[in-house]
């Protein structure tokens, strides 16, 4: 297993500076991670910093609460792509899902898929706020709209990825799309357990620590 290629090396701290983002990119290059994930304001910087690598430039949409309007999220997508983003992690409208307005959630995802124009889209469902039925419903919606990944968490909620949620999601998506586990993943053992359960990407700010755990 090339564990490094499962990792989206991430700094989404609200106080991240340009110096922090350069360090993030330097680390990603050193370990050849799958991608770097940063706030939208740093996409142009990351695109330049990673220009001589094959590491993908990732950013977040509607982050971290998901409560932006659909129109705002679509604008964010277009701006991010124009700035050089290649992968997009979008937070759903969690309140709409919890309220049973599945049509709103599905239409919003469809609009983001269209705006993304084939670029990799990861839909963050924030599992810690959801019951099993809602997680299963989001698996269905994501399958119907041909997103690339369903993602557990932002890392800003009560809890992050759990083994139980990855197993549940994998059961209901099969091989139609992939899972990104994110939030609270701090060790090599954590990462390997989630990958073994079905995760194909690991979103973490602890990528270096995880890779050191391989030794």
Q: What is the per-residue pLDDT across 125-149, written as a single tens digit (0 to 9) for each?
A: 999 999 999 999 999 999 999 999 9
Angle at 106 between CA 184 and CA 100, to 5 degrees: 80
Domains annotated on the chain, with CATH: 3-213 (3.20.20.70)
DSSP summary character for residue 6: G
Catalytic residue flag (residue 89): yes
Please tell me the predicted confidence (pLDDT) of residue 214: 80
Using CB atoms within 10 A of its CB, is residue 33 exposed (0-12), middle (13-18) or buried (19+)?
buried
Q: Binning pLDDT at 50, 70 and 90, where does residue 27 land?
A: very high
Contact present, 90 and 78 (Cβ < 8 Å): no
158 has a pLDDT exceeding 90: no
Q: Which one is catalytic: 73, 122, 137, 151? A: 151
Catalytic residue flag (residue 186): no
Please tell me the predicted confidence (pLDDT) of residue 1: 75
Q: What is the per-residue pLDDT across 73-106, written as a single tens digit (0 to 9) for each?
A: 999 999 999 999 999 999 999 999 999 999 999 9
Q: Which one is catalytic: 89, 122, 137, 190? A: 89
Catalytic residue flag (residue 54): no
pTM over 0.75: yes
Q: Which one is catalytic: 73, 122, 137, 180? A: 180
């Amino acid at each position: 297993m090339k564990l490094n290629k499962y990792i989206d090396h991430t700094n989404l701290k609200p106080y991240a500076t340009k110096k922090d983002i350069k360090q993030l990119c330097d680390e990603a290059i050193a370990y050849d991670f799958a991608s770097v994930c940063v706030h939208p304001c740093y996409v142009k910087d990351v695109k330049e910093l990673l220009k001589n690598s094959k590491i993908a430039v990732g950013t977040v949409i509607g982050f971290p609460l998901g409560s932006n309007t659909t129109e705002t999220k679509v604008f964010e997508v277009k701006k991010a792509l124009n700035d050089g983003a290649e992968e997009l992690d979008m937070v759903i409208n969690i309140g709409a899902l919890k309220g049973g307005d599945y049509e709103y959630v599905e239409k919003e995802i469809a609009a983001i898929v269209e705006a993304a124009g084939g670029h990799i889209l990861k839909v963050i469902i924030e599992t810690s706020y959801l019951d099993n039925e809602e997680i299963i419903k989001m698996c269905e919606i994501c399958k119907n709209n041909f997103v690339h990944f369903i993602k557990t968490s932002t890392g800003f909620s009560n809890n992050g990825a759990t083994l139980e949620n990855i197993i549940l999601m994998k059961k209901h998506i099969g091989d139609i799309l992939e899972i990104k586990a994110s939030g609270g993943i701090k060790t090599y053992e954590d990462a390997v357990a989630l990958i073994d359960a079905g995760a194909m990407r690991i979103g973490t700010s602890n990528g270096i620590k995880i890779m050191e755990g391989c030794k």
